[in-house]
C-alpha cells in the first residue's frame, strides 16, 4: 500500500494503520502551551503490539505529542482514545494506572537516589510491596545494569546506563504502552546501538511502543509504523518502511533519498546514526 502524503492529512487515519487493532488513537488533537497550539488536528493510530515511530524536524511538536499521551500536556481540541476509552480528563497518574508509561527526553532519573530506589519508584502507584519486589527482581535479571549498580547513586551512571535504568523503571508497571521520547539523544554511537537494541527487545517481547526519535532513519528502521510530523501536523503516516522509503520525506527529513531510491554510489548512513 502506498503511503499517503499530504500537507494536511491530519483529519484522516492512515490506511496502513487502520487494518490493525489500535491501542491508542489520536483524533484531531490540538495541544500546546500557554494558549498557543503546537499540535493542529493530529490524527493517527498506534496499533497494539506495534512499534510506532514519530519523526520530524525540531519544533514539529513531537515531545508535545508525547506529553498529551502521558497527560503532562492538555489537549485543547480533539481527544486521545486508549483501548476505546477517552483519556481527556485522565491525570498522569490515572494514565499510569491504565498502563501508559513515558520515559521523557531528558535524563529523568533521580540523581541523588540509588539505582534500586529509582527502579522501584517506577511502581510508585502500586501499594503491594511484594509485587514491587518481585517485579524488581525480574527486571534486575533482564537488565543487568540494575543489579550491578543497584546501590550506586543514579547520578554516577553514564548517559547510556541511565537510559537503561530509565527503561527498567518504566517496566515496573508492566505497561501496555511504552512511550519513549528521543531515547538516543546525547549518546555515543556504541551506547546508541545498545539503547536501540533494548527498544527492539521491548517490542519483541510484545509491548506496544510509541517512540519519538530525532535520529529518524534509525527510529524508522526499528518501527513497524511511522508517522512524520511537520509544524504540528501529520505529514505522512504508514508502515515504517513506507515512510523510510518515501522520496519526498527522505529528501526533507532524512538527509536525502533513502532505501531503493538511493543514488548509485551514495554512501549509506551507518546503522545507529
Cβ 212 to other proteins shortest distance, Å: 15
Stretch that binds other proteins, among 82-90, 118-126, 223-231, 257-265 (CB under 8 A): 118-126
124 binds other proteins (CB under 8 A): yes
Contact 53, 226 (CB under 8 A): yes
Task: Using CB under 8 A, count the residues that bind other proteins.
Answer: 23
Stretch that binds other proteins, among 41-49, 107-115, 209-217, 222-230 (CB under 8 A): 107-115
111 binds other proteins (CB under 8 A): yes
Q: Give strand pairing partners of 208.
A: 177
Binding to other proteins, residues 166-205 (CB under 8 A): 169
Contact 167, 202 (CB under 8 A): yes
Binding to other proteins, residues 58-97 (CB under 8 A): 70, 72, 91-93, 96-97
CA distance 47 to 50: 5
Q: Which of 190, 171, 189 is nearest to 179 (CA)?
A: 171
Cβ 158 to other proteins shortest distance, Å: 17
128 binds other proteins (CB under 8 A): no
CA distance 236 to 4: 6
33 binds other proteins (CB under 8 A): no
CB atoms within 10 A of CB 267: 6
Cβ 98 to other proteins shortest distance, Å: 12
99 binds other proteins (CB under 8 A): no
Residue (41 or 120) nearer to other proteins, CB: 120
Residue (130 or 263) nearer to other proteins, CB: 130
Q: Which of 221, 260, 243, 213 is nearest to 5 (CA)?
A: 243
Residue entry with cell 491508542 = 24
Residue (14 or 165) nearer to other proteins, CB: 165
Residues with Cβ within 8 Å of residue 148, at least 6 apart in sequence: none
Q: What H or E segment, with its residue span, contains residue 140?
A: helix 129-142
109 binds other proteins (CB under 8 A): yes
Cβ 67 to other proteins shortest distance, Å: 10
CB atoms within 10 A of CB 36: 7
CA distance 48 to 21: 6
Binding site for other proteins (CB under 8 A): 70, 72, 91-93, 96-97, 101-102, 104, 106, 108-113, 117, 121-122, 124-125, 169
Amino acid at each position: 500500500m502506498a503511503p499517503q502524503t499530504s500537507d494536511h492529512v491530519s483529519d484522516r487515519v492512515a490506511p496502513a494503520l487502520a487494518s490493525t487493532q489500535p491501542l491508542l488513537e489520536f483524533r484531531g488533537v490540538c495541544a500546546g502551551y500557554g494558549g498557543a497550539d503546537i499540535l493542529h488536528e493530529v490524527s493517527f493510530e498506534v496499533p497494539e503490539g506495534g512499534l510506532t515511530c514519530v519523526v520530524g524536524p525540531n519544533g514539529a511538536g513531537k515531545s508535545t505529542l508525547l506529553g498529551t499521551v502521558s497527560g503532562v500536556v492538555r489537549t485543547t481540541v480533539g481527544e486521545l482514545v486508549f483501548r476505546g476509552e477517552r483519556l481527556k480528563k485522565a491525570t498522569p497518574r490515572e494514565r499510569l494506572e491504565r498502563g501508559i508509561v513515558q520515559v521523557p527526553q531528558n535524563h529523568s532519573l533521580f540523581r541523588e537516589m540509588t539505582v534500586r530506589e529509582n527502579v522501584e519508584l517506577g511502581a510508585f502507584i502500586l501499594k503491594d510491596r511484594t509485587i514491587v519486589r518481585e517485579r524488581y527482581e525480574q527486571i534486575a535479571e533482564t537488565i543487568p545494569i540494575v543489579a550491578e549498580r543497584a546501590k550506586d547513586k543514579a547520578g554516577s551512571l553514564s548517559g547510556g546506563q541511565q537510559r537503561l535504568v530509565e527503561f527498567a523503571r518504566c517496566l515496573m508497571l508492566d505497561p501496555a504502552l511504552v512511550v519513549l521520547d528521543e531515547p538516543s539523544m546525547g549518546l555515543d554511537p556504541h551506547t546508541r546501538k545498545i539503547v536501540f537494541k533494548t527498544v527492539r527487545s521491548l517490542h519483541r517481547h510484545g509491548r506496544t511502543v510509541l517512540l519519538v526519535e530525532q535520529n529518524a532513519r534509525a527510529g524508522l528502521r526499528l518501527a513497524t509504523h511511522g508517522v512524520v510530523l511537520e509544524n504540528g501536523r501529520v505529514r505522512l503516516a504508514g508502515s515504517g518502511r513506507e515512510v523510510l522509503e518515501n522520496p519526498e520525506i527522505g529528501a526533507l527529513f532524512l538527509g536525502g533519498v533513502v532505501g531503493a531510491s538511493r543514488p548509485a554510489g551514495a554512501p549509506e548512513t551507518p546503522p545507529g546514526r
